[in-house]
A = this chain, B = another copy of it.
Amino acid sequence: MATGHTDPQRRERILAATLDLIAEEGTAQVSHRKIAARAGVPLGSMTYHFDGIDQLLREAFTRFADHIVAVFDAHLAAPADRDQAREAVTDLVHTLSEGSPRDLVLTQELYTLAARRPAYRELTHEWMARSRVHLEKHFDPDTARQLDALIEGLTLHRALDNEPHDRALTREAVRRITTTSG
């Protein structure tokens, strides 16, 4: 029937504004009013488009997780052999830790939620699973698992370090963890 005047970008803008706000001020500081102001939508839109703040956060982080999964895919889908895979992993670590602090901060916020709430843990599982699928094209499952954990740790330490380690160290770590003893 009638549709009224509809603006399909409303939801998107709200979700984008939510992630921006979380990146800048933290999950602790999100509120309907701040998000609405940032997205340029009236306060009433918030409860119209989303059932509550919880649903809003969950949906926003789902978008973010999709974004990160895409980054993993972009880096890890291409390589054709083990050496290329190793270099791709090195690239990935440096992209994640050197890119805008935005992704780093949002990742941490998501991990924090995941540590406490299973609903969010599913989001992190998806990208751990996805990255493992890629890695298992070039390495055995155990190695993929170890490498996956190494990526996590290297990325975080590089991001939080005042004097982050250089590419050579990342490359060497990747080489070691992917070298199965004779």
Please report A residues at the B interface, Cβ cutoff 8 Å.
26-28, 101, 104-105, 108-109, 111-116, 121, 124-125, 128, 142, 145-146, 148-154, 156-157, 159-162, 165, 169, 172-173, 175-177, 179-181
Contact = CB atoms under 8 A, between A and B. Distances in A.
A91 to B, nearest CB: 16
Given A101-B116, A111-B156, 16 more contacts: A26-B112, A101-B115, A108-B115, A111-B112, A114-B160, A124-B160, A125-B160, A142-B172, A145-B157, A145-B165, A146-B173, A149-B173, A151-B153, A176-B176, A176-B179, A179-B179
B154 A169 contact: no
A5 to B, nearest CB: 35
A180 B173 CA distance: 10
| Shortest Cβ-Cβ A-B pairs, 5 listed | A153-B153, A149-B153, A152-B153, A28-B28, A146-B173
Contacts of A169: 142, 145-146
Contacts of A112: 26, 105, 108-109, 111-112
27 contacts: A26-B28, A26-B116, A27-B28, A104-B115, A105-B115, A108-B108, A112-B112, A121-B160, A121-B162, A124-B160, A125-B160, A125-B162, A128-B157, A128-B160, A145-B157, A145-B165, A146-B169, A146-B172, A146-B176, A148-B153, A150-B150, A150-B173, A152-B156, A152-B157, A153-B154, A175-B181, A176-B179
A102 B23 CA distance: 24
Contacts of A145: 157, 165, 169
Contacts of A101: 115-116
Nearest to A158: B149
Nearest to A162: B125
